Amino acid sequence: MKFDNHIRRSGPAMLGAAMLAFSVNPVSAEDITVTSFGGIWETAIKDCFASEFEKRTGSKANVLIGSPAQWMSQIEANPDNPPIDVIVTTQSQTMAAGEGGLISRATAKEVPNLADVDPIFIKAVDGWGACFDFGAFILAYNKDTIKNPPKSIKEFVDRTIKGDWMATMPSVSYAIAPDIIWSFADLYGGSADNVDPAFAVFKQLKDSGNMISWSSVTDFLNQMSTGDADIGMYWDGRAYAFIDKGNDWMGVIKPTDKAFMSCVAMNKAKGAPDAAWDYLNIVFEPGPQACFSDHLKYGVTNQKVQYSEEMKNRVTWPKDLRAPNVSTSRKIAQNAADWIERWNKEIGF
């Protein structure tokens, strides 16, 4: 071996400065970055909102996949030049983002279509824009193993404790756990100030050994598919979408004692350009909303939306939903940490 060869061979290991070659592609001023959850959510946002925005304005709407906690932190870290222009958030996150100064308050002036949105979906986020879609917690069950499904949440609870089936419910690690805790409290006679009734129920469910939990929407489908659970509380849109994919064995029951409701809001980040308003107006427009509903099988919030025949039967109408009012929502957000701590201590899954 020549000495020089040896020198050459040891060379490349040290050169590490190539890193600066990679950098962010600059986005033109007109383009905006909007957000979405992954999978079919992303498809729906792209097909119904982003492409419509691009068609009308000629600018691009980049769709970013991720989660609200991540986006809020990103906006908060870069208040003057947020990497995100339109953020998707849950109810309590929307209020936190609004009061924390991360988002601009949208009214019918900036987003004309907000005028047609059912007011309960504006109140649900204390007027920080509005929810654009909503989900109801129905009971999804395995038709093969459960011939006589429960009619209501209370019946579901009782028969789970009795041991009629293996049941599953959202875990404390799921983003809207605090809302679910309040809903149970409300159902069993408590309130945002008194969640003891809810915890009494959770305790019984836990002790029965017949209840497990799911921590993501697909987690639930796995549990149902693998047989870990026979029945569970689940999002209506998700259940319908799953059934439509050929899973006839899954059945859905709208509980008679009001399904728990949760909705998703969309807002403009404070430092974002005005093009974001145009995008939001599309999001709240009847046509794109119907498109979204078709994709995700969820209810949407513009009252002028023409649902497909199928969706008309499926959507749980606002009057059948158990939803917190504004002051309750705030209390939920404030008490979330304490409730979760209590859940950790007393229930544990």
Partner 1 sequence: MTDQVRRGTSRGFSGVVSPWWIAVTALFLVVFFVIPIINNLLNTDQLVTLAKQRPASFYYEKLFTDPYYLGIVADTVTLSVGVTVICIIIGYPVALFLVRHAGRWSGLVIFLLIAPLLTSIIMRTFGWRVLFARRGLLNDFLLWIDAIEKPILFLNGPTSAVIGLVHVLVPFMVLSIASVLRSIDLQLEESARILGASRFKTFLKVTFPLSLDGIGTGFIIVFLLANGSFVTLLLLGGGELKTLPLLIYQQFTISRDFQFAAAMSNVLLAIAVGCLYLQLRLIKRKGVKG
Partner 2 sequence: MSSNNNTDRQSLELVLRGISKRFGDVVALEPSDLVVKPGVLLSLLGPSGCGKTTTLRVIAGFEAADTGSVLIGGKDVTLLPPNKRGLGMVFQNYSLFPHMTVADNVAFGLRMEKASEQEIKRRVGEMLDLVQLPGVEKRFPNQLSGGQQQRIALARSLVTNPSVLLLDEPLGALDKNLRETMQFELRRIQNTLGITTILVTHDQEEALTLSDQVVVMDQGRFQQIGTPSEVYESPETRFVSEFLGTSNLLSGDISAPTDSDDRKVTLQYGEVKTVIESPGAPSIPAGPATIAIRPEKIVLSKRSPEMRNVLQGIVKGHVFRGSYHAYEISVAGRDDPIFVYDQAGERSTDAVHPIGSGVYLTWKRENSVVLRD
Partner 3 sequence: MLIYVVLFFIFLLGPIFIVVSISFTETEFVAFPPQGFSWKWYQRFFEYEPFIDSFIVSVELAIATALLAVALGVPAALAVTRGRVPYANTIMTFLLSPLSMPLIVVGFALLFYLSALGLGVSFVSLLIAHTVISLPYVVRTVAGVYRGISPDYEESAAVLGANRMQIFWYVTLPMIKPGIFAGMLFAMLISIDNLPISFFFGSADTNTLPVVMLSYLEHQFDPSVAAASSIQLIVAIIGLFIVERIYGLDAMAPAS
> Which residues contribute to the site for partner 2 (CB under 8 A)?
1, 3, 6
Q: How many CB atoms lie within 10 A of CB 216?
A: 13
The residue among 60 and 330 lying less far from partner 1, judged by its C-beta, is 330
Q: Which stretch binds partner 3 (CB under 8 A): 21-29, 110-118, 177-185, 280-288?
A: 21-29
Which listed residue (101, 112, 119, 189) binds partner 1 by CB under 8 A?
101
List the single partner that 26 binds among partner 1, partner 3, partner 2, none, CB under 5 to 8 Å by kind: none
The residue among 213 and 281 lying less far from partner 1, judged by its C-beta, is 213
The CA distance from 132 to 88, in Å, is: 10
Interior angle at CA 40, CA 36 and CA 45, nearest 5? 45
The residue among 3 and 22 lying less far from partner 2, judged by its C-beta, is 3
Among 86, 38, 42, smallest CA distance to 217 is for 38
Residues 333/92, Cβ–Cβ less than 8 Å: yes
- 41 sits near partner 3 (criterion: CB under 8 A): yes
CB of 81 to partner 2, least distance (A): 51
DSSP for 192-217?
TTB-HHHHHHHHHHHHHT-EEEESSH
In sequence order, which residues have a C-beta less than 8 Å from that of residue 234 and are 6 or more positions away?
A: 137, 138, 139, 140, 217, 220
- 25 sits near partner 3 (criterion: CB under 8 A): yes
CB of 202 to partner 1, least distance (A): 13
Classify 222 as helix, strand or coil. helix
Within 287-346, which residues bind partner 3 (CB under 8 A)? none
List the single partner that 327 binds among partner 3, partner 1, partner 2, none, CB under 5 to 8 Å by kind: none
Residues 222/133, Cβ–Cβ less than 8 Å: no
List the single partner that 1 binds among partner 3, partner 2, partner 1, none, CB under 5 to 8 Å by kind: partner 2
List the single partner that 51 binds among partner 1, partner 2, partner 3, none, CB under 5 to 8 Å by kind: none
- 108 sits near partner 1 (criterion: CB under 8 A): no
The CA distance from 302 to 92, in Å, is: 21
Strands annotated E in 122-176: 130-142, 167-170
- 247 sits near partner 3 (criterion: CB under 8 A): yes
153-171 core/surface letters (b: 16 or more CB in 10 A; e: else) = bebbbebbbeebbbbbbbb
To which H or E segment does residue 241 belong?
A: helix 236-244
End-to-end CA distance of the chain: 64
CB of 248 to partner 3, least distance (A): 13
Q: Which stretch binds partner 3 (CB under 8 A): 102-110, 139-147, 217-225, 259-267?
A: 217-225
- Contacts to partner 1 by CB under 8 A: 67, 69, 72, 76, 92-93, 95-97, 99-102, 166, 171-175, 177-178, 212-213, 215, 222, 226-228, 330, 333-340, 344-345, 348-349
